[in-house]
Each structure stands twice: as C-alpha cells, then as structure tokens.
Amino acid sequence: MQLAVVGLNHNTAPVEVRETLAVAEAVLEELYSNILLNDRIYEAMVISTCNRVEYYIVTDDFLCNVDSVLNIIAEQCKIDRSILRKYTYIYCGEESVRHIFRVAGGLDSLVMGEPQIFGQVKDAFENSRKFGAAKTFVRKLEEFVIKTTKKVRTNTGIGDNPVSVSSAAVELASKIFGSLEDKHALVVGAGEMCEIACKHLRSASIGGITVTNRTFEKAEKLAAEVGGNAVPLDKFREELSHADIVLSSTGASGYMIEAPDIKPVMIRRKHKPMFFIDIAVPRDIDPAVADIENAYVYDIDDLKAVVESNKKLRQKEAVKAMEYIENGVTDFYRWVESMKIVPVIKALRESFDEKRMLELDRFCDKFKVTDANERRKLEYLLSAFMNKVLHTPLNNLKDLAPGKENYSLDEAVKIIFDLKE
C-alpha cells in the first residue's frame, strides 16, 4: 500500500483554473463515493483551498489509479483532461508524505509559514473520516501530520516575522507604540490591503478602528467586520486628531493627507506621536508630513524592505522545519514497514490458537475432563501461557520489521525470541 497525490496549487495553476477545480463541501460525499468505486483505491482525502486542490489516495497500483483520479476530476469539473494534466503535479510514496507534511507546516504556501493551512488540512482529514474514506492508513497519516506540524510550529520561527505589507505595517506600529490597546487607528480605504491591515490591527488588540472610504457602504462593511466605526470620506480629516495610527491605501491620483493637514492636528494632540502608514501607489500621504515633530511616515518601499528581511528569516527557519518533516517522514514509513508484518503476526497467532484448542480437546478427552468449569480453567491456563510465550516475539517482530538489516536464521531466532547467549 502506498500514498499518492494528484494536485495543483498557486505555483502550477492560475486562479481561474483553481476556481474551476475547487471542491465545494456539498459535493464531497458524492466525490468520495466516486473515488472509492475503484476497488484498488482503499482510502482517500481531498484538500481544497483558494490556493490548492489536492486528491490523496491509498492504493496498491499507483499508475492506474492516479489515472483514474485524473478522469474523475476531469469529469467532475468539466475540464479537458489534457488541460488538467498541464497544471497538475503527481507524487507517490515518500514524496507524497513529505508533500503533505510541507503543506500542513506552511512550507508550500503562497505566504510561507501561514498558519491557516494547518486548520484546513485538519478539516480535510475530518471530512475524509466523515464520508468513510479514512481507514488505518489515512488515520495514522493524520496522527503523524498533526504531531509533526506541531513540532514545526513549536520549535521553529516559521510563522514569525510578518511577510505581507499589511502585517509588516502593524508590526512596525507595535514596535513604535509597544502595546496598541490604548491606541486608535484611522484607516483610509476599504480595499484588500486595508482589510488585511484592519484584521491585523484587531488581532493586535488595538483600542479602536475608524474606517473611511469613497464608497461609504464599503467602509461600513469593513468597520462592522473588525468592530470599528465608519465615517464618510469628506469627514475623515476631523478624525485625525484622535488617530495614533493612520493607514492609507486608496486609488487617489494625489495626496489624501498633506503636511498642512497635520500641523494643526499635532497641536490639538499636544504633539503626541502619530504613525502614518502609506501603502498606496501612487502615494496617499505627503512625504513632508515626516518633517513634522513626532510624525512618522512609512511608505510601501519601507515596508517592502521589512517584508524581504522577514522572508529571509522565514527561509532560514524553513531549513529547521524540514529537519522535523524529514524525521516525521522517516517515522511514518517505519510504521508503514511495520504493517507489512501484521499478516505474519495474525497467521502466527491463529496457528497457536488452533494448536491450543486441539491440545485442550486432546487433554480433556484423554483425562476424561467433562466438567465445564474445569475446562474453562484449563483454557484460561493455556491462553495465559500462550500469551506469555508470544508476547516477546510478536513485539519484536513489530518493532524490528521496519529495519533493513539482514540476519541469518539463527540470529533472527535469537533476536525475535530474545534468547541470551
């Protein structure tokens, strides 16, 4: 039995292809049923996020059954198979296990180290169980994925040091002010960059957020999502004196905030520090604002420098993370190898059980044991003795089966039965 994966992600397929192949939760039950109709596919799991779609299968016929999955995807998504193959990658065996460990640990994400994917992978395992597609192999894989990812998260800094412009902006604000709990932010704009920044500000426990935007309804919607309040764009300058942090990202052709706007504001604030974050191109905030005492201005180039520095730090941590992942792959495949001995152990125990019952019958016939209670006592004695005899060899078979060592017959017997010299 081996694991195989057929998938595509942000590196191999454009967003319009990923959207076409995305799997809605409503169709999962039918999809799993279709996959498991193939009697050579024993277990399956599907991961579908905005940046990846991956089909994992447990099979004993890698080539044929990957082909079967490609046909199912093509039919389900109404996409030509030749086009589908252009965008997909295929891994098998250890490479597929290594891949899912990298995915869960955030090493294969668009933003390296992002934590959301771990939860999405856990949800995928849960759905696999829910729809009857997870048995021994997938359940054990889930156990190892969770254990290994927790080690990566706990023992490396793969998720530290923000690597998006919006998150870097909030990190800088936190460094300047320390705690943000008693600070107020004014966010000018309600696009994606501002939305992400607002969520980071809320995560940093900021005291309050005010949002303004050319379309007031968008400002209200974003403010409601982050527990803030909204003001019309033509009124936002009245809010400046209350703002410790001003973050702006609009599509305006000229400056939204100029130095003359801020000079009276600083007087009203008694020159308490103000932190201006300009993540617009072209810029929203007049660079001359930085000439005002206690006014600090950072534009997108400043933030990109922070982001690039942080990416290098995460890359360094990724090397450490791969050590834990490689150990996880090795440990998982020790378990896979150990499973090969299970039929031998089962056959050995059945053979001993059969001989135990034959010997019990022979003894009772020979010594005229007819009392049922006496027979149960003898059966208990034989079972207890057999379990003691088999305990060491069966455990040694399970523990040593994954090893690659070659033993002579006499060495194998000594090791399995733990015989002393």
pLDDT of residue 336: 86
10-residue mean pLDDT profile of the chain (421 residues): values are: 92 90 92 93 94 94 84 90 93 96 92 86 97 96 97 90 76 85 95 88 93 96 96 95 95 93 95 92 93 92 81 90 96 83 73 86 89 89 85 73 65 70 65
Residue 314 near residue 162, CB atoms below 8 Å: no
Binding residues for substrate: 49-52, 109, 114-116, 120
Secondary element (H or E) of residue 245: strand 245-248
Q: How far is CA 7 from CA 108, 165, 396, in A?
A: 12, 29, 39
Which amino acid is present at 99? H
| Residue 39 CB neighbours (<10 A) | 6
pLDDT of residue 129: 97
Binding residues: 49-52, 109, 114-116, 120, 189-194
Which among 104, 199, 97 has a CA at the least distance from the CA of 153? 104
Binding residues for NADP(+): 189-194
Q: How far is CA 122 from CA 10, 104, 239, 271, in A?
A: 20, 8, 43, 50
* φ/ψ (deg, to 5) at 158: -60, -30
Report the Cα–Cα distance between both ends of the chain, in Å, rounded: 38
pLDDT of residue 279: 87
Question: What distance in Å separates the CA atoms of residue 342 and residue 348, rounded to the nearest whole number?
Answer: 10
Domains of the chain: 2-161 (3.30.460.30), 165-298 (3.40.50.720), 341-417 (no CATH)
β strands within 10-126, DSSP E = 41-48, 52-59, 89-92
Which amino acid is present at 101? F
Which among 84, 298, 266 has a CA at the least distance from the CA of 176? 298
Secondary element (H or E) of residue 230: strand 229-232
Question: What distance in Å separates the CA atoms of residue 16 and residue 371, rounded to the nearest whole number?
Answer: 77
Which among 209, 235, 239 has a CA at the least distance from the CA of 224? 209
Known active-site residue 50: yes
pLDDT of residue 216: 96
Which residue among 50, 77, 198, 364 is the active-site one? 50
What would the two tokens of residue 160 be? 């530290």
Q: What is the pTM assigned to this prediction? A: 0.67
Secondary element (H or E) of residue 231: strand 229-232
* φ/ψ (deg, to 5) at 89: -115, 155
pLDDT of residue 272: 94
Which tens digit of pLDDT belongs to each residue from 125-144?
999 999 999 999 999 999 99
